[in-house]
Structure 1
């Protein structure tokens, strides 16, 4: 387990066990504490997966917007070049 996760889980775990009055000295208390810790770990993994998915979704949206902007810029440059060519053509004739 990562130390960052431990820094987050242990205060939460201690708060939960103290609020519920779980005795960490007996076997049932230790087992319950282990189950709570396991649940917290799974929740942490789920949260990380959701965050990564959201980041990927935002990245994809940003890439899509950038491609659209580039397409618009190319279109504008192409139109400007064509109009310049036409202007030169009219002056020449």
Structure 2
């Protein structure tokens, strides 16, 4: 049960990570999996790709297909809406950090 609760909680953190990196430069799934792993989020591609698709559907990410070595790779960039949501999330996260830190 605890794993399910933590997984739900961390889903929001993962989305913030995605928006943060997609704002800086276009990202792709395999790179994002490795980046998340460095931060302690051990998720599978079967978990990440539905998150990316959902964020695209919600208008937070824009997908662009690029041919890389003969294979199509999907790159995701933050949209204006995604950048706005990221800004709001950063403010809320900072406020929460200040509250729980003390």
**Greater share of residues in helix:** 1
Q: Which of 1 and 2 has higher RCO (CA within 8 Å, sep 6+)?
A: 2
Same topology, TM > 0.5: no
Task: Identify the structure with the greater strand proportion.
Answer: 2
